[in-house]
């Protein structure tokens, strides 16, 4: 087999999906320790790549917005093509499985591009030199990516053992930024921090503000030393402020005030993360932070927090795993989770952690 000196990872988005690819990239690094690994990523998620435990040589920014703008398309396309071809890759691995991702991987003119035999978009297969079968509906996203990685040339020859590691690399600039922010907020190392993430991209994944407020109040009544940090993007600023004001006490909204790098570092410092089904649960899982997650329209077996130290809450309704972005019943019946059940479990978890 030809020596592998340059590898390109195609996984531009989303936030959780990027973390799902870290163990597969670690598998590549173990088998090709001297290879330079580059990663094509959307600009809004570029800082997440710095937390990959396997050293990434170069981030290639995928200019999605510019490519969607007719007036900027030609320039953006030419610059991206030039950057992709600046290195002669022996391997391109498309973990995204879309026509767009496979096309730009093919545009790199690598020796070979590899992908799923059953990608998200069938047309992606047209651009792969070799395709590998993975049971998409039978295992977690992390395991799907690892299954692809372990079948690649050079890895398959070394055996099929897959080691699943969830760990984040230290990134000093973000750690220092959070140190400064916490100093301003008078948060110390002795404080018990619980992260609250009330946002999600799908309306059907978003539990109401009152649900989170009730949980915070119940836990704060039993554990007054706990501080709650409401986390999320600028899109969640309104609900973050609403929860913080209604919950009172030691509840602070940081929604819209942190970039991806700071968000990751803050979650790493939390004792627990309470969240809808969204990207932060996968950050927490990678950082070994216990997750209390709420699922309804999606399947936690496929995209839930990976590992055994998490708790997933679901309502007892027939329409779970409908995969609808908006509830077709218009009542979000899957949100009928008992806030008391969640707060009791959270208090029990905190108590058990304190006794260790």
Angstrom distance (rounded) from CA 182 to CA 269? 11
Cβ-based neighbour number of residue 183 at 10 Å = 10
Rounded (5°) CA angle 84-90-91: 80
Cross-strand partners of 113: 92
- Whether pLDDT at 138 is above 80: no
What is the chain's Cα-based Rg? 21
- Tell me the average pLDDT across 261-289: 97
Angstrom distance (rounded) from CA 188 to CA 198? 24
- Whether pLDDT at 4 is above 60: yes
Give alpha helix (H) positions in the chain. Answer: 15-31, 64-67, 70-84, 99-107, 141-150, 172-185, 209-222, 237-247, 260-268, 279-286, 300-303, 339-354
Least confident of 4-13, 191-200, 201-210: 201-210
pTM for the whole thing? 0.94
Report the share of the chain in percent with pLDDT over 70: 97
Domains detected in the chain:
6-158 (3.40.50.2000), 172-354 (3.40.50.2000)
């Amino acid at each position: 087999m030809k020596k592998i000196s340059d590898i390109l990872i195609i996984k531009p988005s989303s936030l959780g999906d990027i973390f799902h690819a870290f163990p597969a990239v670690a598998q590549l690094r173990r088998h090709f320790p001297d290879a330079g690994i580059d990663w094509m990523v959307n600009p809004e998620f570029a800082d997440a790549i710095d937390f990959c435990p396997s050293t990434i040589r170069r981030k290639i920014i995928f200019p999605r917005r510019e490519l969607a703008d007719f007036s900027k398309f030609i320039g953006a396309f030419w610059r991206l093509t030039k950057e992709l071809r600046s290195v002669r890759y022996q391997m391109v691995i498309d973990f995204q499985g879309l026509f767009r991702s496979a096309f730009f991987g093919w545009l790199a003119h690598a020796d070979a591009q590899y992908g799923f035999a059953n990608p998200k978009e069938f047309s992606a297969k047209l651009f792969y030199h070799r395709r590998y079968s993975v049971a998409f509906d039978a295992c977690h996203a992390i395991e799907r990516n690892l299954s692809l990685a372990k079948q690649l040339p050079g890895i398959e020859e070394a055996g099929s053992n897959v080691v699943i590691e969830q760990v984040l690399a230290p990134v000093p600039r973000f750690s220092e930024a959070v140190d400064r922010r916490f100093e301003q907020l008078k948060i110390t190392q002795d404080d018990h921090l619980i992260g609250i993430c009330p946002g999600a991209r799908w309306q059907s994944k978003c539990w109401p503000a009152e649900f989170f407020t009730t949980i915070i109040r119940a836990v704060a009544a039993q554990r007054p030393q706990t501080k709650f940090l409401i986390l999320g993007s600028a899109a969640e600023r309104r609900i973050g402020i609403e929860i913080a004001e209604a919950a009172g006490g030691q509840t602070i909204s940081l929604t819209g005030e942190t970039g991806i790098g700071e968000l990751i570092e803050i979650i790493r410092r939390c004792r627990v993360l309470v969240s809808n089904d969204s990207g932060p649960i996968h950050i927490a899982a990678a950082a070994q932070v216990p997750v209390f997650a709420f699922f309804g329209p999606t399947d936690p077996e496929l995209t839930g927090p990976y590992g055994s130290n998490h708790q997933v809450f679901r309502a007892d309704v027939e329409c779970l795993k409908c995969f609808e972005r908006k509830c077709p019943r218009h009542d979000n019946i899957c949100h009928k989770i008992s806030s008391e059940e969640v707060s009791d479990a959270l208090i029990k978890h905190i108590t058990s952690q304190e006794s260790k």
